[in-house]
């Protein structure tokens, strides 16, 4: 889905960090175990962009991510509910079975602390990334065509980023809290500077949702990442060069939005106290 927009006019760059991350490898979820990919997925980073600022008028496209800290993993014992387990009532064995806690091992991403004795989570052990992304118009919501005012959406996105996002930031899963702040992509030292090339095998990339593709299918996208000096360049979900492998999951109807369901960007722009100077 190429909107014809100039990405340099609607691009945001931000730093995201947290104590842990879990970009789940679906192959390890059988039996309740979870193991994180070593790299953030396109879908997880797109979700962070949507937590910063989202409206159905736009679609976020993640261009690239830069790993700032050495990849480390940490396994932790968890006690998730097992809804498939058997736990009959001792008083009444015929009573409906109740879910119980089981033991599982979750392997999270983390990283080395920036300082020997850190006093802040930003300097402590954890993950840290720089992300570059831009938004494009969602052409599958024609009723919102009048809301396609690029400068105002961009100004609101920048303001939302400076404030740390509109919704909570998660690094893959709900229990991995993250934080965002604006940055200049490529600035600062990365633990992978000068490390060269590293190829990965097939990994999950993203989902294709009907309201973004105009098709009545939910699809999963997969790809083979190539890390270069700690920088990962993502192919677009609609890439046709063969970099993306697609799998149909199930049929799904797109959710439709009309002008009566969405606050006009001009009104939101005014309520935030933004000015034409800020837009420029």
pLDDT band at 37 (very low <50, low <70, confident <90, very high): very high
**Rounded Cα distance, 114 and 91, in Å:** 55
- Sign of CA pseudo-dihedral 217, 139, 182, 6: positive
Give the pLDDT of residue 71.
95
d(CA 47, CA 115): 30
Pick the CATH number of 7-83+97-279 from 2.60.40.420, 3.30.565.10, 3.40.50.300, 3.30.70.2660: 3.30.70.2660
Q: What is the mean pLDDT of residues 190-196?
A: 96
Q: How much is the pLDDT for 169?
A: 97
Mean pLDDT of 64-83: 89
Q: Is the pLDDT of residue 278 over 60?
A: no
- Residue 86 in this model has a pLDDT that exceeds 90: no
Asked if 170 and 176 count as a contact pair (C-beta separation under 8 A), the reply is yes
pTM greater than 0.85? yes
Tokens of 204: 């999950």
Residue 280: pLDDT above 80?
no
Structure tokens that stand for 169 in this block: 């930031």
């Amino acid at each position: 889905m190429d909107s014809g927009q100039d990405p340099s006019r609607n691009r945001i760059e931000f730093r995201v960090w947290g104590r842990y991350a879990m970009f789940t490898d679906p192959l390890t979820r059988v039996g309740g175990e979870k193991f994180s990919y070593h790299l953030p997925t396109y879908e997880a980073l797109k979700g962070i962009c949507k937590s910063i600022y989202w409206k159905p008028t736009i679609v976020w496209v993640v261009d690239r991510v830069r790993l700032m800290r050495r990849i480390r993993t940490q396994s932790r014992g968890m006690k998730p509910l097992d809804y498939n387990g058997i736990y009959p009532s001792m008083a009444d064995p015929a009573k409906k079975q109740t879910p119980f806690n089981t033991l599982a091992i979750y392997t999270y991403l983390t990283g080395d602390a920036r300082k020997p004795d850190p006093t802040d989570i930003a300097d402590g052990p954890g993950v840290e990334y720089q992300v570059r992304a831009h938004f494009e118009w969602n052409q599958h919501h024609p009723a919102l065509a009048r809301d396609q005012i690029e400068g105002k959406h961009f100004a609101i996105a920048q303001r939302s980023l400076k404030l740390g996002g509109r919704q909570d930031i998660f690094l893959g899963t709900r229990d991995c809290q993250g934080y965002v702040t604006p940055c200049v992509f490529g600035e600062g030292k990365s633990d992978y500077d000068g490390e060269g090339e590293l190829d990965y095998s097939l990994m999950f990339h993203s989902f294709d949702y009907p309201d973004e593709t105009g098709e009545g299918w939910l699809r999963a996208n997969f790809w083979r990442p190539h890390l270069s000096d700690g920088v990962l360049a993502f192919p677009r979900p609609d890439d046709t060069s063969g970099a993306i492998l697609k799998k149909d999951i199930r049929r799904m109807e797109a959710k439709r939005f009309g002008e009566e369901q969405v606050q006009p960007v001009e009104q939101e722009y005014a309520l935030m106290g933004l000015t034409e100077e800020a837009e420029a």
